[in-house]
Structure 1
Amino acid sequence: MPILTTGARCFLEVAEVGSIRKAAVHLNLSASAVNRQILNFEDELGVRLLERLPRGVRLTGVGTMVWEKLCQCRDQIDSLHTELENLRVGERIEITIGIMDCLVGSTFADLLAAITERNPRIKINIRVYFLAEDLVRKLKSREIDLMVAFAQNISDDDIWKIHSITTRVGVIVPPGHRLAGRGAIPVEACYPETMLLPERSMTLGRLVRSALPERLRIAPLRTNSMRLIRETIKHNRGISFMNEIDVWNDVHAATLVFVPLADMDLSTELNFFVRDPKSVSEPVRTVAASLHDLITAELVRLYR
């Protein structure tokens, strides 16, 4: 719905790129056609808008004033289009999801895109945190509506778990490593390797350190960054234990390999929390259920 005239739109484009020829390319018109439209626009207004120079154009004083007014008009038209679209699809509903940093990446972005495509009335805001404790605090203070985190044993009467996904913990190695492609392996196969483990402050760090044998050769590196551990593994400086979601972006990209454990049943839970299951809004329920189902399906597709 081009409310602005062709001459006005040509003038705006030329003013912003500083050249009739460049504007013509953007507008898919010939340079002579753009120039003619602007000359007609100047005749309609009765003023000179552009100074035509050997190497482009320059706005006159009046041209600058007209350009500013047209920019305001264009912004108002864009706002009108947005309001009309909102009326067409119904009132948009906004929800905020708090997630852990390990979920960030192309895989999760694709899942979010699928959810927003299915639910065009729902606008989703994402807030990223490193610690589950931060997410709990944000959920209780109503800064987020849904919390998705590897948070175990949360005992708080103010938040409730509505969904859960069990993710296996396995060995993470680079492609070409002797353990890659072997299927499930016993934990003793890791004894000769240098093991990179996350700090005990992290859920996975506590789980792995309490469950694994002392015979493992633990690297002297201490970090709360799973990303740093993954990058170190890619450079063949050790291996690690991670869950399927921690490494799914790298499995997608074929830069790391997830190897299941044959003799240990280690797993973590990705949990979905809300403040009150009785009063949680229907859009939050819808998004939570969709996200749960899509993550589950993606894990099956990648690893089963």
Structure 2
Amino acid sequence: MTTQTEENTGARSGGDAERVVHVRGLRKRYGQVTAVDGVDLGIQRGEVFGLLGPNGAGKSTTVEILQGHRSRDAGTVSVLGRDPATADGTWRARVGIVWQDESAPAELTVAESVRHFAHYYPRPRDPGEVIELVGLAGKARSRIKSLSGGQRRRLDVALGIIGDPELLLLDEPTTGFDPAARRQFWELIRRLAEDGTTILLTTHYLEEAEVLADRLAVIQAGRVVAEGTADDVRHRHGSEATVHWLDPERGPGHEVTATPTRTVTALAARFGGEIPGLRITRPTLEDVYLELTGEGKER
């Protein structure tokens, strides 16, 4: 990683407990539509934070406000100690972003594009190092129009980190990826996190959030309806378990309960010991997500 300015070095040395993003009461309306309705968020330095929610829930609007690309109607926002609405170019160089849309001219080669974007920053990373980091060293001389979809997204990440940002905002980075390309991209995100970059990831892929995020928040209709680690969210919002068994006379049986041990004890007494076909399941993160967002009721 390249040497930072004195200001940036001080910011990076604040420890893992330092809050990089602090949002309270964030609101944004578009005419009669409320896109963000009182969002509170806190992201610590060095975290990978996942923001989950269905399309139209307010994820992208929130990211745009954090980047300073969109104004807000109410609330307080601090990103790297500054209000994005009034921050200057020095602050913007400390924040990288990867939008859903591709950003590089198709006729340039990968190397040309990364070198070009490096000129926008006061202390960029080495372009060759960045190209290698995102796994495009073998495509450095290839024109962007010849790259696959997954390779183009890797290039978008290269352009997002060429300025050596302290905070990287990833807006639905793997939409349209096949499973293999998605998992390769996950490895890239892990490497960036290990390198010390704080990452905010918006996604509607539950497995992606569970694999990558240290903590996550579920947003629905502009409101945060759950926040914590994946285990926290599962346990807090999906505490009931389902006990399954097989009755030799009546066939399969099950009971949804918050006290599965009590149910198992009662079944053991009923069957006189071993319980045929005993199985206990708990809600997955996907189950909880669908319940929180109401999407499960639409199926």
TM band (smaller chain)? under 0.3
Structure with a larger share of its residues in helix: 1
TM (norm. structure 1) is 0.24
More strand per residue: 2
Give TM-score scaled by structure 2 length: 0.25
